[in-house]
Amino acid sequence: MIAILIGMTGAWMSGGVEWNIPHHHRSSSFMGMDWKTIVNPNGGKSVWVGETELRHRMKWSVELTVDPGRSYVKARTRVENRSPLIQSMLFWANVSVHCNPDYEVIFAPNVQHGTDHAKVRFCDWPEGKPGVDFRFWKNHTDQFRSVFAWDFQNDFLAGYDHGRQAGTVHVGNHHVVTGKKFFLWGNHPRANMWDKMLTDPWTEEQKKGSLTGSDAEYPQYLELMVGAWSDNQPDYSWIHPGEVREHVQYWYPIRGIGGVKNATVDAAVNFERKSADVVKIGFCASGAFPNAQALVFQNGEEIFSQTVSIDPGKPFQQEITVPAEAKDTEFHVLLTDAEGNPLVAYQPRELEPEVKPEIVKATPKPEDFETVEELFLAGQRIEQFHNARMDPMEYYSEALRRDSGDARANTAVGLRLAREAKWAEAEKHLKTALARLEKNVRG
Whole-number pLDDT of residue 1: 40
Cis peptide before 22 (omega within 30 of 0): yes
Torsional sign, CA 383, 388, 390, 393: positive
| 410 vs 170: CA distance, rounded Å | 44
What SS3 state is found at 419? helix
Arch. (CATH architecture) of 17-253? Distorted Sandwich (2.70)
In the prediction, which pLDDT does 4 show?
54
Q: What is the pLDDT of residue 150?
A: 96
Using an 8 Å Cβ cutoff, are 149 and 107 in contact?
Answer: yes
- Would you give per-residue pLDDT tens digits along the chain (443 residues)? 444 567 776 667 777 889 999 998 888 877 788 899 999 999 999 999 999 988 888 999 999 999 999 999 999 999 999 999 999 999 999 999 988 899 999 999 999 999 999 999 999 999 999 999 999 999 998 888 999 999 999 999 999 999 999 999 999 999 999 999 999 988 888 777 888 888 888 887 776 655 444 556 788 889 999 999 999 998 999 999 999 999 999 999 999 999 999 999 999 999 999 999 999 999 999 999 999 999 999 999 999 999 999 999 999 999 999 999 999 999 999 999 999 999 999 999 999 999 999 999 999 999 999 999 999 999 999 999 999 899 999 999 999 999 999 999 999 999 999 999 999 999 999 999 999 999 876 55
Kind and range of the H or E element at 309? strand 301-310
Measure the CA–CA gap between 399 and 389, rounded to whole angstroms: 20
Cα–Cα distance between 386 and 248 in angstroms, integer? Answer: 26
Residue 3's pLDDT is: 45
Domain spans of the chain, in order of start: 17-253, 262-346, 366-437
Helix (H, G, I), strand (E, B) or coil at 208: helix
DSSP 63: E
CA distance 284 to 382: 45
CATH class of 366-437: mainly alpha
Is 382 within 8 Å of 392 (Cβ atoms)? yes
Q: Note the pTM of the prediction, 2 decimals.
A: 0.93
Under 8 Å between Cβ of 299 and 240: no
CATH of domain 262-346: 2.60.40.10
